[in-house]
């Protein structure tokens, strides 16, 4: 089936009104949930073949993540779908005003390779909940997971409602040349710009979930054992191939050496003396990305204090910490997206606040401190998509917090109700009643009308 046929069939199905009823939406979400449960073993195998993910990490960060999102959505969907009455100003009196959510219509979701199941299904949950038809384009770099995803969707939904289009860049280009009512893209900032350019041709609204260099700051008063465990976990999960992973570490000079000692100890505790043998440590997605990371490692002027070993044939790259890195180091010029952790020291919070504020706005920011003034200073004065105080990554795991970037790290948000809102257009409707109208509305306008107007709009 070609893309033109898919689009035409989905447009016809959407116009039939079949996707709008609450009962239909709930049924589709439940069917998706059941299909994921049935396919767990296939999903785990595919993720292991693509990224060497363990079944535990696959459930934690992919399967369990989306199951919980469906669980959260189902009992709340009826409330989200209801129109909401809002106040009507005196100028509109007598009348009533409502905000009514409606589906966009036909949605395109372009998913990445690093969490290939979660980052395809999670936005799909929002699109289905909001009543849309959907085309999902998974990444060609995770072909086994893409194939399993396509099978789940094919067995669960008719293609005129939801379908998966597999293929390489040529398939993505063809889809982006087609008119959709909404585009949701997760990936790099570079490709995000191309998606936005393509969407502009049709004036299609977009949500862009991108990336950036997410700083992790450890203040002098931080709990070092806690900070170390949570930094190592957040950085090296999925072999560092996480858009919100701590990209680089900023440590107060007074605690840098003890913190680094704990980080090295925790890397060994998590992955053993030889991480390549650990069942909980994955692989780089492709040799192209491996070569890019190897170039960043070799070009860094810092000192490797642990790790550094790698094997291009198996795409293995050890958890690597690089000390004494400077702001102008080549590794600080782009998002790392891999298991390399540059470390810099600081002596004043104000100095790193200035450095971070002069750079593109990051997708995430992490701060370890017990000082509320330090917390307030950085959270208030730095712009970033989201983050954690005294932890890493976990802000993405709650449906109560919208997730998204700002500036170069993205536009728009999702998760929980924010997913429903992202895939919905809100219609604003005012209803007027057949009662006397305000005398300021119609000409001729006199002094009395002017005085009344100024009183109403003051």
Same fold flag, 3-210+409-429 and 215-396:
no
pTM for the structure as a whole: 0.95
Residue 94 has pLDDT above 90, yes or no: no
Contact (CB, 8 A) for 388 and 233: no
**At residue 310, what are phi and psi to the nearest 5 degrees?**
-160, 160
pLDDT band at residue 433 using 50, 70 and 90 as cut-offs: confident
Choosing from 134, 209, 300, 335, the catalytic residue is 209
CATH code linked to domain 215-396 = 3.40.309.10
Average pLDDT of the chain?
96
Instruction: Work out the average pLDDT over 183-203.
Output: 97
Three-class secondary structure assignment of 298-339: HHCCCEEEECCCEECCCCEECCEEEECCCCCCHHHCCCCCCC
388 catalytic, yes or no?
no
The domain locations on the chain are 3-210+409-429, 215-396
Residue 1 has pLDDT above 70, yes or no: no
Q: CATH classification of 3-210+409-429 is 3.20.20.70, yes or no?
A: no
| 387 three-class SS | strand
Residues in the chain: 458
Instruction: Work out the average pLDDT over 226-248.
Output: 98
216 catalytic, yes or no?
no
Contact (CB, 8 A) for 319 and 281: yes
One DSSP character per residue, 135-166 reads: EEE--TTSHHHHHHHHHHHHHHS-TTTEEE--
Q: Give the pLDDT confidence of 137-178 residue by residue, as tens digits.
A: 999 999 999 999 999 999 999 999 999 999 999 999 999 999
Choosing from 133, 134, 243, 300, the catalytic residue is 243
């Amino acid at each position: 089936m070609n893309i033109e046929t898919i689009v035409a069939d989905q447009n016809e199905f959407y116009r039939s009104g079949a996707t709008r009823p609450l009962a239909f939406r709930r049924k589709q979400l439940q069917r998706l949930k059941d299909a994921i449960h049935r396919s767990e073993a296939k999903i785990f195998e595919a993720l292991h073949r693509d990224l060497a993910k363990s079944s535990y990490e696959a459930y934690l960060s992919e399967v369990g993540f989306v199951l919980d999102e469906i669980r959260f959505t189902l009992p709340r969907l009826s409330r989200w779908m209801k129109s909401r009455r809002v106040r009507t100003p005196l100028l509109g009196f007598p009348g009533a005003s409502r905000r009514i959510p409606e589906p966009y219509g036909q949605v395109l979701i372009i998913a990445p390779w690093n969490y290939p199941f979660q980052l395809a299904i999670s936005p799909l949950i929002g699109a289905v909940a909001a009543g849309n038809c959907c085309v999902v384009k998974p990444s060609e770099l995770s072909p086994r997971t893409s194939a399993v995803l396509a099978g789940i969707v094919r067995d669960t939904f008719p293609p005129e409602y939801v379908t998966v289009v597999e293929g390489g860049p040529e398939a993505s280009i063809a889809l982006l040349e087609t008119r959709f009512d909404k585009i949701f893209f997760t990936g790099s900032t570079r490709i995000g710009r191309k998606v936005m350019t393509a969407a502009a041709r049709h004036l299609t609204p977009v949500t862009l979930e991108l990336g950036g260099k997410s700083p992790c700051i450890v203040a002098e008063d931080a709990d070092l054992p806690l900070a170390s465990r949570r930094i190592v976990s957040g950085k090296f999960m999925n072999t560092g191939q996480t858009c919100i992973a701590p990209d680089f570490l900023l440590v107060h000079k007074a605690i840098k050496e003890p913190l680094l000692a704990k980080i090295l100890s925790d890397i060994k505790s998590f992955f053993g003396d030889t991480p390549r043998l650990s069942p909980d440590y994955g692989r780089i997605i492709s040799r192209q990305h491996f070569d890019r990371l190897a170039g960043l490692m070799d070009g860094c002027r810092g000192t490797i204090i642990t790790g550094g070993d790698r094997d291009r044939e198996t795409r293995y790259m050890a958890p690597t910490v690089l000390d004494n890195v400077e702001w102008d180091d080549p590794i600080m010029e782009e998002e790392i997206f891999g298991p390399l952790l540059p470390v810099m020291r600081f002596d004043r919070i104000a100095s790193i606040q200035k450095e971070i504020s002069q750079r593109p706005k990051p997708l995430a920011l992490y701060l370890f401190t017990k000082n509320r003034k330090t917390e307030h200073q950085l959270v208030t004065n730095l712009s970033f998509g989201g983050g954690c105080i005294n932890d890493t990554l976990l802000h993405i795991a709650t449906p109560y917090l919208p997730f998204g970037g700002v500036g170069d790290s993205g536009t728009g948000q999702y998760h929980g109700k924010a997913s429903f809102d992202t895939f919905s257009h809100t219609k604003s409707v005012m209803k007027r009643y057949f009662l006397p109208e305000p005398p300021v509305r119609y000409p001729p306008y006199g002094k009395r009308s002017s005085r009344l107007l100024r009183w109403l709009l003051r």
